[in-house]
């Protein structure tokens, strides 16, 4: 709590993290209200800049930004500010993501921030960000340990964010048996992410379990899986083509 002068400020920050993690329009709008409350309480500028950066990123990601170019410029300024004026693990993490997603889009530049983003902590959010950047840059072997650590630090993976990237990394590397070992009975969870179910369906199909594959494929479709998400999940053209071809034998992907 060293960055907070009052418990109210700290509680608002925790509420912001909860609302931001929903990744919904409602959650996004709630974070904007929380940001204004934090400002009205004269909260530390570094906290304000950090929170605002993540909120802008979420607005851009969800397609809710009304001034995309202006928001990207704000992101550059805000993340530069927190890195220079505070420079803790959280600050380097958001800077890495912003660098990769909006600024240089250069893997080597984005990855240069990762060591300092996980220096002295196991903040789940930072670990997932590191895993995501390595995943998106094709460094699957480097991505996997960060995602495993994120899941160890917080086993309940809301939205299957870390789990889906881990599945993608393992699938891209051809380590399908590790995918089955990782999930076990959890694959039967009613809310299991659709794209994970589709990957699992392709594994069962490869193993000759056609009926099980069809069941998983339909469950995946019911849970939102669609052809347009395949490359977005895997970030690998060859793997995406392979998965698409496998799934097409089970039914329509749209």
Question: What are the tens digits of pLDDT across the range 195-231?
Answer: 999 999 999 999 999 999 999 999 999 999 999 999 9
Residue range of the domain that includes 230: 174-254
Is the residue at 45 inside a domain? no
Is the residue at 101 inside a domain? no
Q: In this structure, what token pair is assigned to residue 167?
A: 């599945």
Provide the whole-model pTM: 0.91
Averaged pLDDT of the chain: 95
Is the residue at 187 inside a domain? yes
Q: What is the pLDDT at residue 1?
A: 54
Is the residue at 91 inside a domain? no
Is the residue at 160 inside a domain? no
For 30, 132, 136, 165, the CA distances from 142, given in Å and listed in that order, are 35, 10, 11, 12
Question: What are the tens digits of pLDDT across the range 99-112?
Answer: 999 999 999 999 99
Question: What are the tens digits of pLDDT across the range 148-175?
Answer: 999 998 888 888 999 999 999 999 999 9
For 62, 136, 225, the CA distances from 173, given in Å and listed in that order, are 30, 14, 22
Q: Answer whether 93's CB lies under 8 Å from 86's CB.
A: no
Q: Domain tally for the chain? A: 1
Highest mean pLDDT among 18-27, 116-125, 239-248: 239-248
Is the residue at 55 inside a domain? no
124-139 average pLDDT score: 95
Is the residue at 142 inside a domain? no
Is the residue at 36 inside a domain? no
Q: What is the pLDDT at residue 21?
A: 85
């Amino acid at each position: 709590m060293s960055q907070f002068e009052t418990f109210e400020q700290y509680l608002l920050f925790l509420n912001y993290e909860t609302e931001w993690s929903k990744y919904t329009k409602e959650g996004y709008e709630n974070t904007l209200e929380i940001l204004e409350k934090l400002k009205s309480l004269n909260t530390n500028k570094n906290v304000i800049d950090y929170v605002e950066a993540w909120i802008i990123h979420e607005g851009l990601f969800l397609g809710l930004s009304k001034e995309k170019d202006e928001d990207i410029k704000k992101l550059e300024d805000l993340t530069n500010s927190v890195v220079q004026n505070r420079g803790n693990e959280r600050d380097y993490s958001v800077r890495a993501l912003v660098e990769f997603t909006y600024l240089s889009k250069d893997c080597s530049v984005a990855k240069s921030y990762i060591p300092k983003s996980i220096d002295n902590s196991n903040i789940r959010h930072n670990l997932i960000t590191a895993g995501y950047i390595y995943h998106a840059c094709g460094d699957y072997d480097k991505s996997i340990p960060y995602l495993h650590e994120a899941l160890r630090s917080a086993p309940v993976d809301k939205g299957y964010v870390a789990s889906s990237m881990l599945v993608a990394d393992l699938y891209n590397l051809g380590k399908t048996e590790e995918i089955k070992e990782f999930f076990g009975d959890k694959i039967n969870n009613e809310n299991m992410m659709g794209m994970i179910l589709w990957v699992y369906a392709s594994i069962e199909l490869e193993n000759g379990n056609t009926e099980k594959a069809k069941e998983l494929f339909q469950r995946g479709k019911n849970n939102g899986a669609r052809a347009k998400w395949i490359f977005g999940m895997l970030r690998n053209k060859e793997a995406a083509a392979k998965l698409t071809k496998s799934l097409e034998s089970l039914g329509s992907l749209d």
